[in-house]
Amino acid sequence: MASTRPEPQTQKVRRKSVFRDYAESLIVALILALIIKTSLVEAYKIPSGSMEDTLLVGDFLLANKFIYGSKMPLIDVRLPAIREPKPGDVIIFKFPGNLKQNYIKRLIATEGQVVEIKNKQVYVDGKLLEDPPHVKHTDNTNSPIGNPSRDNFGPYRVPKGFLFAMGDNRDNSYDSRFWGPLDRKLVLGKAMILHWSWKKDDHAPEMTLSNPLSIPHSIAYNIWHFPDRVRWSRIASLIK
């Protein structure tokens, strides 16, 4: 009776074929993930309170990167913008003072517009700017006119190719009032939607390598307090 067992050489070819299929699929997946992350949508975490109460510490958001013309991965080329950033947009950008850091602020004015702040009230081109719903002030005092000044600023005309951005937590935000206008080229995308929100817990145990038992302790603590720490009402809410 003739043997149906494949020849060793055939088995080797098939193993190479399967390995090659997996490798090609992995490479394609990595390339697609890179394109999506750098050009389409990217996730960000809110680390500070400068955008309270629009965005809270522990919020996780998705940003639309292609709307303003995203940068292609590995090459210094930008796709055409669907539209330019406009006042009112919540934007993510590279911080001019440290390009390794990402900042998030609200766009107040674009190139050519004149910004003036009088006793905390913001004027653009001479018109009082209506505050978004969650803008807040935590300090009732007004800082005097100076350079820089938190509550009295300008008038200041935004240079060509630049933007003027401020945090919604107006008394506790390091923004264009202090470090100047934002280069349009540093804008990464528009904040779109919250996909997760996690409250800070000052009582949560820390994980340290010096104490191996701290790892299961921290995991158990967070699992137990999980329902209380999630801000359920914020999940899947649009950023305005």
Write down the pLDDT at residue 136.
94
55 Ramachandran zone, left/alpha/beta (phi>0; psi -120 to 50): beta
In the chain, the number of structural domains is: 2
Q: Does 70 fall in a domain? A: yes
- Of 193, 88, 185, the residue nearest 133 (C-alpha): 88
Do 116 and 141 reside in the same domain of the chain?
A: yes
What pLDDT is attached to residue 141? 85
pLDDT for residue 12 is more than 60 = no
3-state helix, strand, coil in the chain (%, to 5): 25, 30, 45
In a domain, 75, yes or no: yes
The SS3 of residue 33 is helix
Residue 101 and residue 48 share a domain: yes
Q: Determine, yes or no, domain membership for 46.
A: yes
What confidence tens digit (pLDDT) does each residue in 19-48 have? 665 565 556 555 544 544 454 567 888 999
189 and 204 in a single domain? The answer is no
Q: Could you tell me the CATH number of the domain that includes residue 128?
A: 2.10.109.10
Say which of 50, 70, 173, 197 is annotated catalytic.
50
Is the peptide bond preceding residue 53 cis, with omega within 30 degrees of 0?
yes
Rounded to 5 degrees, what are φ and ψ at 124?
Answer: -125, 120
Active-site annotation holder among 105, 173, 176, 197 = 105
To the query of whether residue 136 is one of the catalytic residues in this protein, the response is no
Domain that holds residue 210: 200-231
Q: Is residue 123 part of a domain?
A: yes
Q: Is 109 or 218 the better-scoring residue by pLDDT?
A: 109
Let me know if residue 166 belongs to a domain: yes
52 and 67 belong to one structural domain: yes
Residues 149 and 99 in one domain: yes
Residues 124 and 205 in one domain: no
Is 105 tagged catalytic? yes
Query: Is position 15 within any domain?
Result: no
Does residue 210 fall inside a structural domain? Answer: yes
The pLDDT mean for the chain works out to 84
Quick one: 66 and 156 in the same domain? yes
